[in-house]
Chains A and B, each alone.
Chain A
C-alpha cells in the first residue's frame, strides 16, 4: 500500500507555479521522497527525489518539511505539457525496495 496521501486533482493556470502537496506522516528516517509523473499514454517519468533537504533540478523543486511528514513539488512555470498524473512515493533506497504507486494527483494546466 502507498504510504502517501495526495489530493485527487488540481488545476493550475498556464505560466503560474504549480504546487503539489503530499502527506507522508508515517515516513521513516531512511525513506526518501520521490516524485514521478505520468503524461497521458506515456510511461512514468522521474522528476526528483530527496531525503530531508530541499532539492531543485531543471524540472522542479522539492520542499520537504522539517519534520518530514509532508512535502511539496513545485513546477515553477507550468505549461500545458505539464498536465499529467503526479505520484509522490516514499521508499527506502536499498535492495528489494520497489516503488509503490498510489493514485496520484491529476494536475490540469489550463490555458
Chain B
C-alpha cells in the first residue's frame, strides 16, 4: 500500500545511454514532481507537473524529460546520460500544486 513508489531502486548505466525512471502514486493526487539529490545531499526540484501544466526548473538540461501517461504516473526519461547525472532522484506528489508533498523512496542512479 505504498503511497508513492519508484522503479528501479538502483540504476547503474554507462555514459551516453538513455534510461527511464518510473513513478506511481496511489493517493489520487493531481500534481507530481521530480527532485534530484546530489552527492552534497542538496535536494532540488526538477519538475512539477499536473494535468494542466508542466513547470520546468530552468537549470535542468533538456536531456531530462518528464512523461505522464496518466494522473497517477510521472516517469523521468534521461537521454545521453552524463557522469554528473549520478544522484538520487525522488518523485513526489501532492493533492494540488502548493499542497503538502509526499515523497517516494528514491532511485539511485550511477553513471559510469
Contact = CB atoms under 8 A, between A and B. Distances in A.
Contacts of A96: 48, 55, 97-98
B99 A93 contact: yes
A98 B45 contact: yes
B39 interface: no
B41 A103 contact: yes
A30 B48 CA distance: 21
Contacts of B66: none
Interface residues of A, number: 22
B33 A98 contact: yes
A92 B98 CA distance: 8
Given A96-B55, A98-B48, A44 B98 contact: no
Interface of B: 4, 33, 41-45, 48, 55, 90, 92, 97-106
Which 4 A-B pairs have CB atoms at the shortest separation, nearest pair first? A43-B103, A101-B43, A98-B45, A44-B103
